[in-house]
């Protein structure tokens, strides 16, 4: 089976490509390298023994995309490509709406033109906004989303539902990721944030490695047991395997699935888990809350378990250990 993976050299895409190759799928990657590096392709080849086909292309390039779909028949698409920095999306909303929406529309038009009807899309738990926790696929979406990035995910979900309704052959899976962290256990691929990391785990890893002096914990007076925010962290390899499961159980229409563990972990718990798993010190201070942060959210993961036969198997300890392997390895062999 031939899968076209957009954004396949990025953080989640590269791990998913590894999981797909290991399951015997043939992969073509399309990526414009705006947030990734060509060296990831070699790393994928080192892990799997197979180098996937790769095209450097912006997904908004309709003619270029048409050419790629014409090279070899595509059975399904996994669509990771897009911009994802929440803070940047508030500064540059037009760029986020243009890139994320336009890329998806161009991709859907190319799929329609080439008779490709299966799509797995990277959505986010951010679509639940202010819904009560735990979030289930039945929860209300679209209310209380605090940034343009989250709005693009919500809008694209709506576009996919409309397209699926118009196409009796459409089989779309909308995967709502919780908080992806960790890396491939080889330490060869992982998340490589440019500049100061916005997300917790990469920041913790950079403090542990001495690249940064200390972590600022954004708020310790939330209504949670230790006062810090609670999230549902998911190992990126569990997430990657979730994509394989979604592909293998894809069904007609547009169906959303939560990909999370169902377990909440506070910021302080994550920091201490990291210290325990790695033996490294992580200095921190308590700082004011970050605008837009919700006190607590985690998944109800039951639908993915029952329909996709998928649930997470890796612990917070695994996430910390593999993040550290990647941090130390990538620092040695800087991409």
In the complex, the residues that contact ligand NAD under the rule CB under 6 A are: 7, 9-13, 31-36, 58-60, 80-84, 99, 103, 122, 124, 177, 180
Smallest separation (angstroms) from ligand NAD to the CB of 281: 26
Whether 47 and 222 have beta carbons less than 8 Å apart is answered as no
Q: Which is nearer to ligand NAD, 33 or 159 (CB)?
A: 33
Q: Which is nearer to ligand NAD, 220 or 296 (CB)?
A: 296
Q: Which does 59 bind (CB under 5 to 8 A by kind): ligand UD1, ligand NAD, none?
A: ligand NAD
Please calculate the CA angle 10-118-175 and round it to the nearest 5 degrees: 50
Length of the chain: 335
Q: What is each CA distance from 6 to 55, 58, 214, 225, in whole angstroms?
A: 10, 10, 35, 40
Token look-up 């593999």 returns 322
Q: Which does 34 bind (CB under 5 to 8 A by kind): ligand NAD, ligand UD1, none?
A: ligand NAD
Does residue 74 touch ligand UD1 according to CB under 6 A? Answer: no
For the record, the structure tokens of 97 come out as: 């709406």
Whether 78 and 9 have beta carbons less than 8 Å apart is answered as no
**149 included as an active-site residue:** yes
Does residue 261 touch ligand UD1 according to CB under 6 A? Answer: no
Q: Which is nearer to ligand UD1, 249 or 290 (CB)?
A: 290
Q: Which is nearer to ligand NAD, 180 or 264 (CB)?
A: 180
Q: Which is nearer to ligand NAD, 91 or 227 (CB)?
A: 91
Select from 40, 86, 259, 320 the one that contacts ligand UD1 (CB under 6 A): 86
For the record, the structure tokens of 37 come out as: 């590096």
Whether 70 and 47 have beta carbons less than 8 Å apart is answered as no
The span from the CA of 278 to the CA of 276, in Å, is 6
Whether 227 and 81 have beta carbons less than 8 Å apart is answered as no
Q: Which does 11 bind (CB under 5 to 8 A by kind): ligand NAD, ligand UD1, none?
A: ligand NAD
With both helix axes pointing from N to C terminus, report the angle between 267-278 and 200-208 in degrees, rounded to the nearest 10: 40
Binding residues for ligand UD1, per CB under 6 A?
A: 86, 124, 126, 150, 179, 198-200, 203, 215-218, 229, 231, 267, 290, 292-293
- Give the active site residues: 149
């Amino acid at each position: 089976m031939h899968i076209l993976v957009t954004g396949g050299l990025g953080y989640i895409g590269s791990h998913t490509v590894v999981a797909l190759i290991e399951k015997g799928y043939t992969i073509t990657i399309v990526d414009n390298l705006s947030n990734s590096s060509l060296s990831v392709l070699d790393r994928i080849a080192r892990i799997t023994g197979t180098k996937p086909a790769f095209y450097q292309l912006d997904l908004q390039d309709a003619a270029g995309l048409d050419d790629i779909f014409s090279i070899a028949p595509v059975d399904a698409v996994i669509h990771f490509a897009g911009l994802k920095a929440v803070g940047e999306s508030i500064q540059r909303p037009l760029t986020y709406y243009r890139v994320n929406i336009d890329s998806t529309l161009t991709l859907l038009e190319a799929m329609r033109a080439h008779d490709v009807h299966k799509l797995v899309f990277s959505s986010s738990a951010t679509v639940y906004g202010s819904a009560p926790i735990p979030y289930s696929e039945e929860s209300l979406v679209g209310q209380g989303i605090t940034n343009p990035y989250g709005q693009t995910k919500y809008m694209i979900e709506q576009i996919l539902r409309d397209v699926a309704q118009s196409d009796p052959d459409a089989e779309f899976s909308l995967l709502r990721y919780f908080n992806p962290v960790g890396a491939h256990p080889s330490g060869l691929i992982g998340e490589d944030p440019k500049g100061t990391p916005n997300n917790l785990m990469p920041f913790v890893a950079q403090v542990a490695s001495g690249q940064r002096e200390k972590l600022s914990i954004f708020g310790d007076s939330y209504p949670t047991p230790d006062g810090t925010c609670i999230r549902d962290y998911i190992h990126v390899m569990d997430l990657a395997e979730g994509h394989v499961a979604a592909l293998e159980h894809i069904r007609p229409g547009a169906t959303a699935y939560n990909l999370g563990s169902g377990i909440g972990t506070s910021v302080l718990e994550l920091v201490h888990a990291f210290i325990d798993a790695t033996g490294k010190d992580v200095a921190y201070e308590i700082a004011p809350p970050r605008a837009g942060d919700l006190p607590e959210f985690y998944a109800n993961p039951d639908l993915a378990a029952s329909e996709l036969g998928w649930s997470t198997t890796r612990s917070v300890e695994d996430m910390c250990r593999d993040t550290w392997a990647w941090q130390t390895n990538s620092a040695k062999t800087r991409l």
